[in-house]
Structure 1
């Protein structure tokens, strides 16, 4: 046993055990699209939608400034495509390349705005922490609409035409955890309602892709938006979806649908380029032969990245072996990890060490960070504690990043380790496995996944159930069930108790064992 086990044996049905353990009613999972709150409850939404409509009717040049992750790419796509479907042809996109550019608005965007003669800038999935650059842009006579979902210091809210962010203190929208693409979708819905335009069904599909990719809580509005896609799958049609279905395995079950959504975000995560171009976005907005060309670019890059991921195991093993429980801070001074995989490494380490992980990497005259954590810790609070060593930081409670001057590295490590020690007892308290249900080995069959279908999609705060299995013996389990044993080695002659997690791909993953 690596962790403390918390479980309660019960004779109730598998599903009732889970619902009772989580303190929720099954009706929570019956929410429909018509049940989500009105988008005009978002602060500045009316103002933002009216300004976009004015630009449409006045044929003003519009620039959509996105972010180069799948959430940002899909958020950019929704607004770009919607404007096009309105018959508008005077709009541009600009997506920075994190391998070259710093996060947020930089000088290259300001120059792009000047060159295009833009009159309106719409930021998606970013902008809330770019107050100074937004001041410069507004001084140029360009109206700025910020749409974002990241946490920010309320006193530093940008002074611009409109700021649409559910985390504003004065926002009356009852759900604060939308993804960046979710906020974009709400802007599209608000504009469409005012000009009597249809919101394409496929926009909900791409909202689901971006939301799943960004690991937002899969509750409330987020859950409802993704579930709407799963329940109305045949309506989710556009040229890109049709194309991707043609190159993938048949999609039959709800789990197949979720796997397809995951494939889509992993595909468009590739394609970073220079001068505001992103091949993942170009794949979404182009047609015909050009779409095939863009697919080839991002698919080739995806396969290359997957190979690089497989090579990370050695580095990850080194970090885990060197862990002294004082807070993992890894500085990739030798450039062993590609920057796009820093977050992937951090997530893997958190899932295995159950403690916060900070990954650092030099970039030009700065150091970049990707940090992840689990329950009992907040990377944003940790960054705030280390603020004197940082240039800029942002993100979410469990995932964030920052930039820092190299000369502040030692100061940051000192401050971070200091904060880690303050939170160490809380972290340790959260290093346990708590079962949602207990089952006998004879209860393990394929029906488990069918029974859980109504809870899908799983995600943060609606996690894949953890099950304690009593009397497990591999010889007694249905051979068609895929069990991921990971580093655990079980003898066929021994009976164990297991903690496993039920996975959306139709498998179960062993988390810990008790036995010989």
Structure 2
């Protein structure tokens, strides 16, 4: 799909420091950056005392540590869950907890969250204190089962709560009613980090470290893991999240990160000293996620917990292999899904506003990525389903701007009681289960609900550009400045530019990537550019002499030399530039 290009209007940037280049000042101002936000120091993190339930949870965990109770961390099977679990296990061990273990449900056997079935597994491990991370806010039955077995339960989560909360001993979730913590978009790993910081303070107040003759731990050592989980979970990078991510990136650049992250960067062919947030999102995160999608997320957790670089490299290599398998599965499923939509693609009026797709042999672990790919192609909210056993199918939903997916599922559920067996999630992503025999009815109800709540103009995809660069601005120095001005990510997008160029050279590399040499309209500057995954029906084409290009500035490094390169987001042939 060719997206409409929308340029950001110029805004007043006089409040920002003149030490920034004029173009960066404008980019920051357009994203709502204040002068205070320009310095991402840890001292500017939001105070923990506004996070509801934090003190109570810290006291419960401190009591358990002093009593040497068995503590079990219950994580989710994605990158946020794996990093949250790792942060808690490492922090608790650093603080002298004697009995700490973790449990990640296998998505194929137990599904998502703290279910009564996984509580039974926790009981077999003799857990006395159960701490959920990145899940639990909707686990009414699971918490009840744990309490019935005599366990103490602390929930930490960031997902949106339902109307009823579980009867846990403490709940820490910035999105629960009454919580004044300002960063509502914090990831599960961020919530876990705040809890461990509060626990450290609670133990300090009890003179725990002196009594145990141990040093009070520096939890800053865990910020590389926090940064990885925050970026990989694609939460909005508000100022607080940007501070956490920037601190983690700096640890990696300085060579002070966990060996597991170093090993994952190695297999992804990324240079730690030059890492940016997108490397966590597109290189490290998918390899970590691959364990939970296709196998056991315990492999991902163990990689992050590991202290031996050689062992970490072996585990990272295994994760890399799982990720390659995941990509192959995804490509095959995407082709099948696109083929099933071809008949309606020719007539856009027939294309559902809300796309629901299902095939019996699709893999549960990949449907989320599949939904995201189809959403990107058609710019419509998508739910992809796969078999879940016992007559049920599980769906993974991805939304577009203007449609809150979890609220939409709640609307469908209120109108069709019993159709959705369970659901939960965020504005942009959600999960649900239905009976396989109800797929057609659900797809129809889903499409009707989308048509009701979504404005028609939102079905047209947009690329929001920061404008056109002058020939003098195509400099390596500007690319480097923008690269280091992040971290960029969700809701704090990396600078994007657009313009018309003459196409000097074009060739396909790596099967479906387009390598280009472009010339500015005035003919003064020649530029290297690359566009990934182009439409091979259009490119290459020697008759195309001009194109409208939407791009990011990138610093390309090859054999120790750096050069300017355009990373093409969209390229559209233009046969007349007037």
Considering the TM-score relative to the shorter chain, is it more than 0.5? yes
1:159-174 to structure 2, matched below 5 A, reads 159-174=167-182
Cα deviation for residue 310 of structure 1 reads 4.0
1:44-83 to structure 2, matched below 5 A, reads 44-83=53-92
Question: What is the RMSD computed on CA atoms of the aligned residues?
Answer: 3.1
**Partners in 2 of 1:515 and 1:441 — Cα distance?**
20
Q: Could you list the per-position Cα deviations for residues 116-145 of structure 1 after superposition, in whole angstroms to 9, with x for gaps in the alignment?
A: 332211000000001122122112221110
Is it true that 1:301 corresponds to 2:322 in the alignment? yes
Cα deviation for residue 314 of structure 1 reads 2.2
Tell me which of 311, 315, 320 is aligned to 2:336. 315
The residue that corresponds to 1:494 in the other structure is 545
Cα deviation for residue 66 of structure 1 reads 0.5
Q: Could you list the per-position Cα deviations for residues 45-87 of structure 1 after superposition, in whole angstroms to 9, with x for gaps in the alignment?
A: 0000111111111001111110010100110111111122223
Tell me which of 485, 494, 497 is aligned to 1:455. 485
Distance 1:426 1:162, change over 3 A: farther
Distance 1:411 1:247, change over 3 A: closer
Is it true that 1:223 corresponds to 2:242 in the alignment? yes
Is it true that 1:358 corresponds to 2:394 in the alignment? no
The residue that corresponds to 2:394 in the other structure is 368
1:377-396 to structure 2, matched below 5 A, reads 377-387=403-413, 388=417, 389-396=419-426
Secondary structure of 1:271's counterpart equals helix
The residue that corresponds to 1:7 in the other structure is 7
Is it true that 1:264 corresponds to 2:280 in the alignment? no
Cα deviation for residue 290 of structure 1 reads 5.4
Greater radius of gyration (CA): 2
Cα deviation for residue 512 of structure 1 reads 4.9
Which has the larger displacement, 130-139 or 245-254?
Answer: 245-254
The residue that corresponds to 1:420 in the other structure is 450
**Partners in 1 of 2:77 and 2:103 — Cα distance?**
10
1:83-94 to structure 2, matched below 5 A, reads 83-94=92-103
The residue that corresponds to 1:283 in the other structure is 303
1:135-214 to structure 2, matched below 5 A, reads 135-153=144-162, 155-196=163-204, 197-214=216-233
> Is the CA contact (8 Å cut-off) linking 1:441 and 1:472 kept in structure 2?
no
The residue that corresponds to 2:572 in the other structure is 513
**Partners in 2 of 1:170 and 1:134 — Cα distance?**
21
**Partners in 2 of 1:101 and 1:118 — Cα distance?**
18
Cα deviation for residue 104 of structure 1 reads 1.4
Cα deviation for residue 494 of structure 1 reads 2.5
**Partners in 2 of 1:100 and 1:166 — Cα distance?**
30
**Partners in 2 of 1:376 and 1:178 — Cα distance?**
21
The residue that corresponds to 2:562 in the other structure is none
Cα deviation for residue 279 of structure 1 reads 1.4
> Is the CA contact (8 Å cut-off) linking 1:192 and 1:199 kept in structure 2?
no
Unmatched runs of 5 consecutive residues or more in structure 1: none
> Is the CA contact (8 Å cut-off) linking 1:97 and 1:274 kept in structure 2?
no
Distance 1:171 1:440, change over 3 A: same
**Partners in 1 of 2:57 and 2:457 — Cα distance?**
42
Q: Could you list the per-position Cα deviations for residues 300-334 of structure 1 after superposition, in whole angstroms to 9, with x for gaps in the alignment?
A: 32232233334345235425534433235343324
Tell me which of 482, 485, 490 is aligned to 2:530. 482
In the alignment of these two chains, the number of paired residues is 514
Secondary structure of 1:43's counterpart equals coil
Which has the larger displacement, 98-107 or 433-442?
Answer: 433-442
Is it true that 1:31 corresponds to 2:40 in the alignment? yes
Please, what TM-score do these two structures have when normalized by structure 2? 0.81
Distance 1:252 1:125, change over 3 A: closer
> Is the CA contact (8 Å cut-off) linking 1:131 and 1:158 kept in structure 2?
yes
Distance 1:432 1:24, change over 3 A: same
Is it true that 1:99 corresponds to 2:124 in the alignment? no
Cα deviation for residue 509 of structure 1 reads 2.1
